[in-house]
Amino acid sequence: MRETGEAESVAETILIVDDQETTRHFLSKALAEEGYSVVSADTGQAGLARAKEEDPDLVLLDLRLPDMTGLNVLEQMREQGSSACVIIMTAYGDVESAVGAMRLGACDFIVKPVNLRQIALVVKREMERHALERELLHRRKTARDKFSSEYVMGESQSIKRVYQIAEQVAKTDTTSVLIEGESGTGKELVAHYIHEMSSRWDRPFLDINCAAIPTELLESELFGHEKGAFTDARFQKQGLLEVANGGTLFLDEVGEMGLPVQVKLLRVLERMTFKRVGGTKDVTVSVRIISATNRDLEKSVREGAFREDLYYRLKVLPICVPPLRERREDIVPLARHFMSHFNKVFHKNFVRMSPEAEQALTNYEWPGNIRQLKNLFERIILLESGETLEARHVQLTGGRVTAGALSCLDLVQSVLTGGEIPRDGLALESVVQEIEKALIVRASEICGWNQTKAAELLGIKRDKLRYRMKLYGLKEAVDEAQVSREDEEPARVA
């Protein structure tokens, strides 16, 4: 069976198990014309062998076979570890047995004589549903593996308090949570922790970055749409709220959500019902909503950019994740964790950090928080070699206004208020560059290292900001992935 993400050109495989040659022939021909890869077997044992060999995506299984029943085949297939969707084919008088097969895990049943058009429609529907289930299982396993391998709490009392609150929240099962904090502090990992500690741990954990999707598409992504709802809506689509039913939906950067979508989300939080885009029927779900933001939502409410009723509905229980500069005792443990992680990724053998390197890390302001620390160690471990990570490997800039910038500012202020220009002259370009660099750093800190907002604050285009950051060495120090929350998801370590 193909893993999710494999090339679409690989046809899905269907196994037909039926002792009637004409049935196998016509079904194989009809399904091959639909683009499927079809294999067949005429007995139960042959069907089990082909299932083990081919690992099909779907099985059309006759209930009556010469050597064993379809129920026996289904049971043994599951014992073999097959998760293929099984559609039972049965004569009218065996419908009760077909219902029994459904209890054993069959997806559907069809009454013989089979209608080829009906078979094609049922197969298409079950293929789509089963593919979605496989993708969910894959995403849940991937998310759980990432959580297990990357989770490290830290030693500071402030972060321990965050996780104590998160664990208490997890027990309530339905309470809405708003996680606040600067970009890169690990808000998504806190959301994962709540999910993993809750009774919903074995159900989907899905996430969406509200800032990365235009408003008109975000509504469809969250709530789904009906066929014909808009120009490209050729099929009915389930939204993330439906797919995450029973589990958790994490809304990252919820402050960027447009007002029209906010109205529909409020209804979900109040009633757990919604309508798909273009739909008329209510869809009922049971989903825990966890939101995160690095914006001041209270200010957004005052400015009319965020609904007050939604704000208080999301913030039933707020959790504030502190920035890394306020939990300095966590910096070195996190650094060691990243060193170990990237040792494995890049097959390196760093085993320790020098006291000078640790001191440099601890003294830095970390404007990009944990994301910046992670990216720094990815770069260091990739480019450097040895057993000891030295201070010379740790090149940090941009965390605060530098001494050079301050001296330039003092000099400029002195000259402009009546002081004399030094007799040996001014290095005008250097002075301007130091001040410009300091302003870029400060604007970036204010905006959580979001390049688009920092550029707006400075009155320049984003491309020009990126060029100047590269020119002054800020791009290398902070890295594209950490200076723009649009380019990479938040680090999953806190």
CATH number at residue 84: 3.40.50.2300
Give the C-alpha separation, 265 to 271, whole Å: 10
- Residue 387 is predicted with a pLDDT of 93
Is the same domain home to 173 and 285?
Answer: yes
- Residue 481 is predicted with a pLDDT of 37
Is the same domain home to 318 and 284?
Answer: yes
- Residue 384 is predicted with a pLDDT of 87
Is the same domain home to 367 and 417?
Answer: no
Q: What is the CATH number of the domain that holds 450?
A: 1.10.10
Helices 355-363 and 331-346 pack at an angle, to 10 degrees, of: 120
Is the same domain home to 173 and 33?
Answer: no
Considering the domain boundaries, does residue 230 fall inside one? yes
Considering the domain boundaries, does residue 429 fall inside one? yes
**Of 393, 417, 438, which residue constitutes the final position of a domain?**
393
Is the same domain home to 318 and 329?
Answer: no
Is the same domain home to 196 and 314?
Answer: yes
Give the C-alpha separation, 28 to 16, whole Å: 8
Q: What is the CATH number of the domain that holds 310?
A: 3.40.50.300
Considering the domain boundaries, does residue 99 fall inside one? yes
- Residue 269 is predicted with a pLDDT of 92
- Residue 406 is predicted with a pLDDT of 41
- Residue 235 is predicted with a pLDDT of 74
Give the C-alpha separation, 454 to 456, whole Å: 5
**Of 363, 393, 423, which residue constitutes the final position of a domain?**
393
Residues 18, 127 contacting (CB under 8 angstroms):
no
- Residue 424 is predicted with a pLDDT of 59
Considering the domain boundaries, does residue 5 fall inside one? no
Is the same domain home to 385 and 419?
Answer: no
Is the same domain home to 156 and 266?
Answer: yes
Token pair for 206: 């899905």
Stated pTM of the model = 0.56
Is the same domain home to 218 and 313?
Answer: yes
CA 371, 376, 379 angle in degrees (round to 5)?
125
44: phi then psi, degrees, rounded to nearest 5? -65, -45
- Residue 480 is predicted with a pLDDT of 44
303 three-class SS: coil
Residue 398: which of 358, 429, 443, 338 has the closest Cα?
Answer: 443
Considering the domain boundaries, does residue 482 fall inside one? no
Residue 74: which of 96, 116, 27, 107 has the closest Cα?
Answer: 107
Number of independent structural domains in the chain? 4
Residue 374: which of 156, 193, 194, 183 has the closest Cα?
Answer: 183
Is the same domain home to 329 and 310?
Answer: no
Give the C-alpha separation, 139 to 145, whole Å: 10
H/E stretch holding 48: helix 44-54
Is the same domain home to 98 and 199?
Answer: no
Relative to beta strand 13-17, strand 37-41 is parallel
Is the same domain home to 382 and 449?
Answer: no
Domain interval for residue 409: 403-472
Give 10-residue mean pLDDT values along the chain (494 residues). Answer: 43 90 91 91 93 91 90 88 86 67 78 84 84 68 56 80 91 87 89 89 87 84 79 76 91 91 91 85 90 92 93 92 92 92 90 91 86 87 89 67 48 62 67 80 79 88 84 58 42 42
